[in-house]
Amino acid sequence: MKNDAQHQNRKNIYPGQEVDIVLKKDQRTGKMTRGVVKDILTNSGQHPHGIKVRLEDGQVGRVKTIIGSDD
């Protein structure tokens, strides 16, 4: 298991990318929502819970999986 998870590093996330996020309301259940990144909201280079993004449909959450990545 690698410590440097892709979804925790801002440099690995970019607008137009398909990702699975966990919305704030779904944090307890861990339910994931798939969408395309519109904006990156986390300013720091990395975040232990995943980079916060806004999807093209306006939903906001933390990235848990980058679709099509080798993670």
pLDDT higher than 80, residue 71: no
Domain span at 54: 6-66
From CA 5, how far away is CA 38, in angstroms rounded?
Answer: 21
Buried b (16+ CB within 10 A) or exposed e, 16-44: ebebbbbeeeeeeeeeeeebebbebebee
pTM of the prediction?
Answer: 0.86
What pLDDT, on the 0 to 100 scale, is given for residue 68? 73
Report the percent of the chain where pLDDT is more than 90: 85
- Is residue 71 domain-resident? no
Answer whether residue 3 shows pLDDT above 90. Answer: no
**Is 1 part of a structural domain of the chain?**
no
Residue 32 belongs to domain with CATH number: 2.30.30
Of the pLDDT bands very low, low, confident and very high (cuts 50, 70, 90), residue 5 is confident
Q: Taking 80 as the threshold, does the pLDDT of residue 1 lie above it? A: no
pLDDT the model gives residue 2: 41
DSSP 9: B
